[in-house]
């Protein structure tokens, strides 16, 4: 008897060795979200079709599909940083998410900024949409807010995304051009797919070439839901507002920066964080009661539409600070995986058909790109909460799952991990009433393709409109097929006739009086296409000033790069006065000299040169200052590139300040031909120079300096 008991004890010990203690552990997704139901898929009614948005089903099935055992297609070129988010006020009226109710939290975040169209090795300064993706490592699981620096997208339905990207990527016959939309296939697509016009107008504006990743807005693009603990839903749009304001470069600068420093944005972000000038954004919410869903002249589920802030104000609720650079680019910035389907209780989806498709596409992309369903185990993707589930194995499994059971329900594993109630944080999809037939179509409320791009253009300042004209002229001028150019000009005329006429004049053709409706040209007049045709333009708001960069923040010069043009013998008292004033405002002073190494001031002290004139360009700086000192100014005048430096800075409408003999450089430059410019200062106090830099540019100058040769 004793012998038998001994054998049983050995058996029990052997079983315990392979049994995981799951007692008391809640079942979660791989992002740490507690699960309320793992037996039923999300359906359109109890007997209805299973819905594509069921992210719990897809995670479970995708993992199973890949249990047996490459560069992003879009957003390939990225820059990332770590930081935190903190909430200003409790928003429990709208959401039960801890990130929106607990003001004591500092939620860790990782943010990845990116261009869309170019390859990993393309330039930072391409005219393009910028990705703005934020991973919140919350205490309820990971939430990914995957957005852009523009509030709308090119297309309304995810079905069109491959067509959009195939059209803007290098043409497949010759792999040209890289990271550029100025070619025939893109404009062929855009001119046949009029829903693209609103986002395209944004890209043709200065928003397409930001001054810095730290100086651009971010948007969640889609309409999401916030759900409070009583189950009441509000629609919401997410906004990131940069504390430094929204600023851009000119196209001429972008072209030259691409040659001078193709890593301009990446370097700018890294250096700012490395120097302790941490970028900050405030999170704003546009909240719409569910009962107001249909009160607008546009459909809030249409991703090509924004909600003007005059109609629904943006409520500022929190702040994000980026305060740490990655330690390894590949391990963090390259391997980070964002999933629009990663949400937490209190946040849910809408029926936006573009969002619905992204919920599927992003996970599928990560499986292919990172080669494993276990990409959540990569350190940058790990949630900060424990995860417990029955998903096993797969390529590159780095954990060692224990236990005999990998299914639910079970008794051999103690029935665990268990399901969480909604009250205990288990996720529950919003109970939206659905009563409709299954149909492959698009709502008539999505058919307005002209009103919002027209509103955007009307809201721009004159200098911004001029830049849009120049952008369209450049882009269409690169197209080689006249019928594509004419079709685009006709469409632009539906948005603004004057804009179309200006572009037509620049590219040397006339705006056609009428054309066959665009989609008919592509699929044939015999097809039934009326549902695809754009509606007439409406004016429901004359302008929306918040859409213009002319109304952004103009009260800081923090992190602005100021070039001090100096040679041996520069006047130290001039430099010391200006440098002290600028650095007090957290600007960055760079000594640009005729040579590298060091330069001597008039007090015979050595000063380290930031860059020699042969290794840098004016487009890398926000303003220039030229101190006195005859020997120094003579040295500058002996190098022709310094005159180019001044002329180019002036042409790009930036602030210039000079003291004493420094005025001689202005007299030799094109600046001398323009009197009383409000952003050029001779013997001026630093305060005025600082105020001009904060204004970003003196755009009043732009029409006067077009012909300056540089």
Residue 292: phi and psi, rounded to 5, are -95, 10
Q: What angle do CA 41, 47, 51 make, to 5 degrees?
A: 40
Under 8 Å between Cβ of 512 and 424? no
Residue 546: phi and psi, rounded to 5, are -65, -15
Distance (Å, rounded) from C-alpha 304 to C-alpha 197? 9
DSSP string, 523-536: H-TTS--GGGS---
Q: Whose CA is closest to 187, among 435, 471, 440?
A: 471
Distance (Å, rounded) from C-alpha 363 to C-alpha 59? 8
Distance (Å, rounded) from C-alpha 226 to C-alpha 101? 12
Q: What is the largest CA-CA distance in the chain?
A: 111
Packing angle of the helix pair 482-495, 197-204 (nearest 10 deg): 90
Omega of the bond leading into 319 within 30 degrees of 0 (cis): no
Distance (Å, rounded) from C-alpha 54 to C-alpha 616? 52
Distance (Å, rounded) from C-alpha 138 to C-alpha 107? 6
Give the CA-trace dihedral at 585, 591, 592, 595, to 10 degrees: -170
Beta strands in 186-232 (DSSP E): 218-219, 224-227
Q: Running DSSP on this structure, what letter comes out for residue 669?
A: S
Answer positive or negative: Cα dihedral of 427, 430, 435, 441: negative
What does the H/E/C string look like for 408-444?
A: CCCCCCCCCCECCCHHHCCECCCCCCCCCCCCCCCCH
Distance (Å, rounded) from C-alpha 674 to C-alpha 453? 36
Residue with tokens 């109630």: 421
Q: Whose CA is closest to 181, among 487, 477, 491, 456?
A: 477
Distance (Å, rounded) from C-alpha 215 to C-alpha 238? 17
Candidates 62, 63, 82, 148; catalytic one: 148
Q: Running DSSP on this structure, what letter comes out for residue 196?
A: G
Tokens of 270: 């890294």
Residue with tokens 């052997």: 14
Distance (Å, rounded) from C-alpha 500 to C-alpha 317? 41
Residue 177: phi and psi, rounded to 5, are -100, 160
Candidates 36, 62, 75, 149; catalytic one: 75
Q: What angle do CA 311, 546, 303 make, to 5 degrees?
A: 65
Q: What angle do CA 329, 332, 335 make, to 5 degrees?
A: 105
Tokens of 499: 């804009």
Tokens of 412: 């051999």
Residue 75 is among the residues annotated as catalytic for this protein? yes
Distance (Å, rounded) from C-alpha 503 to C-alpha 492? 9
Residue 148 is among the residues annotated as catalytic for this protein? yes
Q: Kindly give the pairing relationship between strand 218-219 and strand 224-227.
A: unpaired
Polymer length of the chain: 710
Q: Whose CA is closest to 345, among 3, 677, 35?
A: 35
Residue 653 CB neighbour total at 10 angstroms:
20
Residue with tokens 């004159």: 462
Under 8 Å between Cβ of 465 and 457? yes
Residue with tokens 């103009």: 554
Q: What amino acid positions are annotated as catalytic residues? A: 75, 148
């Amino acid at each position: 008897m004793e012998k038998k008991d001994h054998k049983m004890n050995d058996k029990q010990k052997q079983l315990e060795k392979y049994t995981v203690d799951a007692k008391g552990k809640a079942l979660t997704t791989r992002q740490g979200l507690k699960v309320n139901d793992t037996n039923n898929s999300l359906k359109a009614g109890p007997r209805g079709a299973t819905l594509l948005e069921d992210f719990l089903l897809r995670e479970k099935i995708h993992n199973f599909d890949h249990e047996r055992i490459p560069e992003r297609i879009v957003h390939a070129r990225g820059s990332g940083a770590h930081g935190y988010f903190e909430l200003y006020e409790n928003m429990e009226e709208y959401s039960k998410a801890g990130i929106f109710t607990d003001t004591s939290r500092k939620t860790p975040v990782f943010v990845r900024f990116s261009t869309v169209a170019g390859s990993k090795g393309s330039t930072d300064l391409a005219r393009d949409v910028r990705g703005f993706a934020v991973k919140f490592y919350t205490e309820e699981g990971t939430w990914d807010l995957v957005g852009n620096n523009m509030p709308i997208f090119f297309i309304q339905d995810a079905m069109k995304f491959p067509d959009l990207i195939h059209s803007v990527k290098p043409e497949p016959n010759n792999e040209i051009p890289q990271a550029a939309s100025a070619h025939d296939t893109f404009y062929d697509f855009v001119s046949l797919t009029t829903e693209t016009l609103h986002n395209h107008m944004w890209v043709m504006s200065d928003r397409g070439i930001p001054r810095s990743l730290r100086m651009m807005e971010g948007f969640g693009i889609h309409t999401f839901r916030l759900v409070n603990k009583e189950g009441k839903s509000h629609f919401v749009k997410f906004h990131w507002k940069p504390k430094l304001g929204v600023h851009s470069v000119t196209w001429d600068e972008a072209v030259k920066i691409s040659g001078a420093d193709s890593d301009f944005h990446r370097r700018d972000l890294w250096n700012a964080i490395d120097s302790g000038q941490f970028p900050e954004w405030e999170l704003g919410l546009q909240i719409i009661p569910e009962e107001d869903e249909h009160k607008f002249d546009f459909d809030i589920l249409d991703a090509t539409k924004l909600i003007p802030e005059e109609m629904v104000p943006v409520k500022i609720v929190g702040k994000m600070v980026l305060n740490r650079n990655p330690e390894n680019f590949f391990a963090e910035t390259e391997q980070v995986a964002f999933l629009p389907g990663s949400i937490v209780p209190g946040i849910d989806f809408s029926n936006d058909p573009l969002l619905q498709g992204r919920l599927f596409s992003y996970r599928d992309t990560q499986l292919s790109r990172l080669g494993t369903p276990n990409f959540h185990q990569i350190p940058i993707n790990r949630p900060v909460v424990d995860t417990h589930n029955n998903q096993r194995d797969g390529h590159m499994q780095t954990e060692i799952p224990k236990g005999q059971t990998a299914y639910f329900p079970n008794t051999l594993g103690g029935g665990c991990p268990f399901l969480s109630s909604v009250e205990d944080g288990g996720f529950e999809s919003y109970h939206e009433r659905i009563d409709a037939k299954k149909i492959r179509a698009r709502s008539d409320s999505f058919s307005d393709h002209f009103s919002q791009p027209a509103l955007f253009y009307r809201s721009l300042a004159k200098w911004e409109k001029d830049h849009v004209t120049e952008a369209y002229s450049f882009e269409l001028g690169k197209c080689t097929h006249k019928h594509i150019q004419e079709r685009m000009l006709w469409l632009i005329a539906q948005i603004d006739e004057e804009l179309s006429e200006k572009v037509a004049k620049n590219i040397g053709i006339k705006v056609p009086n009428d054309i066959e409706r665009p989609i008919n040209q592509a699929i044939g007049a015999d097809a039934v296409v009326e549902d695809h045709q754009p509606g007439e333009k409406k004016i429901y708001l004359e302008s929306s000033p918040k859409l213009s960069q002319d109304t952004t923040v103009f009260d800081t010069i923090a992190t602005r790069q100021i070039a001090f043009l100096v040679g041996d013998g520069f006047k130290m008292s001039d430099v010391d006065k200006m440098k002290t004033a600028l650095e007090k405002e957290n600007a960055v002073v760079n000594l640009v000299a005729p040579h590298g190494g060091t330069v001597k001031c008039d007090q015979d002290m050595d000063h380290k040169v930031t860059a020699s004139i042969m290794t840098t360009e004016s487009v890398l700086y926000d303003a220039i200052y030229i101190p006195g000192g005859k020997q120094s100014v003579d040295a500058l005048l002996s190098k022709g590139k310094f005159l180019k430096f001044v002329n180019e800075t002036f042409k790009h409408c930036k602030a210039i300040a000079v003291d004493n003999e420094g005025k001689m450089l202005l007299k030799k430059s094109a600046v001398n031909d323009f009197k009383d410019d409000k952003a050029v200062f001779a013997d001026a106090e630093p305060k005025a120079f600082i105020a001009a830099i904060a204004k970003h540019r003196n755009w009043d100058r732009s029409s006067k300096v077009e012909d300056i040769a540089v």
